[in-house]
Every structure is written in structure tokens, then in C-alpha cells.
Homo-oligomer: A and B are copies of this chain.
Amino acid sequence: MTTAQPLRVGMVGYAFMGAAHSHAWRTAPRFFDLPMEPQLTAVAGRNEDGVRAAAAKLGWASTETDWRRLIKREDIDLIDICTPGDTHAEIAIAALEAGKHVLCEKPLANSVAEAERMTAVADAAAKRGVFSMCGFSYRRTPALALARRFVQQGRLGTVRQVRAQYLQDWLSDENAPMTWRLDKSKSGSGSLGDIGAHIIDAAQWITGQNITGVSALLETFVDQRPLAGDMVGLGGHGDVGADAPRGSVTVDDAAIFTARFDGGPIGVFEATRYALGRKNAMRIEINGTKGSLAFDFEEMNVLSFYDAAESPDAGFRRIFVTEPEHPYAGNWWPTGHGLGYEHGFTHQVVDLVNAVAEQRQPEPSFADALQVQRVLAAVETSAANSSHWQSV
């Protein structure tokens, strides 16, 4: 390992996603044989004390307080963007133009126009051997990667129906504090872009089909929230008094929509952060002519598979996706010793490093993420137009 070529990473942002990405860069080479050796070279953030503390805690060798300086550094090969969505386009484009590979958190951007510009730059950069990837990390959950494999192997036959939900509850309490995720200028949208984007990407990726149109409804349940703290919180356990000054929520709290895919299936989607009791229920169920699949991230190591050929003794088979033959699983623990949330990020690094080393386009590309962005935009348009059908 010590003789591998280094891949020097500069990360922008160091909150929730920054912690997850740092762990992934650090851990990937310990469990996977990588053709390049990731180095946690520098982390950037506007607050000098904050970024220094983060670097020490997360294990980065140096710091910058301006991402533009990070991009200029010659000892950086890859920029890892972990900031809110309103900054993605500017940073990613500058990085790619500076010849740095880019890993950009999802959603790719806050608008289709931004995503289109990013994709154009990314496509051009790829021709120069500079690659980019969008961080739809759930693709790297072994059970979901196995789901895709099953569809590709034809074990479901022709897909007819998709139902996907992403249910959380951390905003259920109306006194949970305001965060940047509830400010449209920062986050682009609410549940729709934050968690709805994940199920859109997963549904398209697993089925191998694009969504072609939607009919949608968006709803905001709580439109004013206490202003408090640093606006970066994720939890609903806020100790903010109910009499604190309040700021306006400018995004959707729940997004529900019906959809059609280009190969024929229909789908139902729901994203919400108000489903009390559902903590991280990212769920997808796919019904085909030969079989069905079901997944719930709250049991992330399990894929349920129904094979109609086993009828009349068929039943959803609860596959514990930890066998050596399963995606990513063989590099970890013995069968049955499950993985956790952060492993998806580690696998993302593994796939990215391999693609970069082999000089090929990593997936999901910015173009893949642009397609998700177009679905998000169609959802918003339909919702604004009395749910009228909106082509993507």
C-alpha cells in the first residue's frame, strides 16, 4: 500500500457530511486494496478556529479558510465538496477548471441551470482526464447494490411498479430550531432535495430507467421556527425556547408525487421529515413480472426478494447482505456482522479512487445527478401548477 500513488484530497466543509467523508477517506484503504493512497491533505472552512478544530478532530493535515486557496494548492488532487447546495456550482466548476477531480455532495445543485453548467464543465474536464462524481452514497449500500444486480440479472422480469419513501421525523417538533436546510436560498428545497433526491436516484439507478414525468404536491407544515445556534443542526431535540425569535421556513416539509419511468413502470414517491417514529426509513419496493424487491434503510443490511417461480411456497426472502459474494461485503467482517451508515461513504471513496486511477468516469456522474435535478424541478413545477402532469 505504501508504494501506491497518493491521491491528495482537499475537503470543503466539515459538518455532518465532512465527518462522514473524512472517515471514508481514512478507512477505505484499510479494508480495500486501492490503486491510489488517499491522503487527507487539507480541509477548508470560513471560520479559522472551527476549521482548525475540525482538522485536528477529523485528521486533516492542514487547513484553509477560503476554498479558492484550497483549489489553487498544487498539493491537492481532488476537491471533496461537503457544503450546502448553493455553493456547489461555483466550487465544483472552479475546481474542475483548476484540474482537480471533484466529489460533490448531493443534490448536485440548487437549480437545473446550475446543474447543467456543472455537467458541461464536468464533461469537458473528463476529456482532459479530470473526473467528477456526485455523492449519492446510498448507491453504495450493499443491499441496494444487490438490488440493482438482481434487476440487471432479470430476476424481477419487467418492472411494473416502484414505491419509494424517505421518512424521517426530526422536524416533527414545531420548536425544533431553524437550520440552513430549511432556507431555500441555501438548500434549494426541503425534504424534496435533501432526502427525496436519494430515492429518486436510487429508483432510477436500480431500475436502470429514468423518470419521464411527475404529478406532485408539496406541503409545509411549520412555516416559522426558532432561530438559534449555528443553523447547522440536524436534530429535533432542540432546547430552544418556544419564545425565541423565529425565522421563516421557505422549503417544503413533505413532497409526494406519482411518476412514470421511460421503460413503462409507474411509481409513487414520498419524502418527509415529519413521519414521527420513522428515523431514517429510506425505503424502496420494486414489483416486476417475475419478482419483487423491498428495502428499508432502518434494516440496511437486509434485502427482501420475492421470486414468483417459487410459488406456491414463495415468500419475501430476507437476504442478509453480508456474504463475500455480495457487493462490498467481502472486504469487511464475517457473514452476518452488519455494516452501518458510514460504510456507504467508504465504498463511495473506493469506487471513486478506482475510477480515477483507471482514468474512467465514476458513477454517478454529474450528468446522472443532473437527471435527478430535472426530476426535482419537475416536481416543483407540477406542485405549483395544481399537480398537473409535468414532463421531466
Contacts and interface: CB of A to CB of B under 8 A. Distances in A.
Interface of A: 1-2, 16, 19-20, 22-23, 26-27, 30-31, 56-59, 146, 160-161, 163, 165, 168-170, 172-174, 215-217, 219, 221, 234-237, 254, 256-258, 260, 266, 268, 270, 272, 274-281, 285, 287-292, 294, 298-300, 302, 304-306, 308, 310-320, 322-326, 332-343, 382, 386-389
A326 B311 CA distance: 11
Most buried by B among A16, A216, A306: A306
Contacts of A254: 160-161, 266
A68 to B, nearest CB: 27
Number of copies of chain A assembled together: 4
A268 B31 CA distance: 38
Contacts of A215: 215, 217, 258, 386-387
Given A16-B334, A258-B217, A308-B172, A275 B161 contact: yes
A386 B386 contact: no
A333 B270 CA distance: 23
Given A235-B334, A280-B334, A280-B336, 14 more contacts: A1-B56, A217-B260, A219-B266, A237-B312, A256-B266, A268-B268, A275-B287, A275-B292, A280-B335, A298-B336, A305-B313, A313-B317, A317-B317, A337-B341
Query: Can you list the 3 inter-chain pairs with the closest CB atoms, starting with the nearest?
Result: A279-B336, A277-B306, A280-B336
Contact of A305 (B57, B168, B315): B315
27 contacts: A1-B57, A23-B30, A26-B30, A160-B274, A161-B254, A161-B275, A168-B336, A172-B289, A173-B308, A219-B266, A235-B335, A257-B258, A268-B270, A276-B287, A277-B292, A277-B294, A277-B314, A278-B336, A279-B322, A279-B335, A280-B338, A305-B315, A312-B323, A316-B318, A333-B341, A339-B341, A382-B387
Nearest to A16: B334
Contacts of A58: 30
Nearest to A333: B341
A342 B27 CA distance: 12
Contacts of A313: 146, 305, 317, 319, 323
B340 A338 contact: yes
A85 to B, nearest CB: 18
Given A30-B26, A58-B30, A340-B343, A160 B280 contact: no
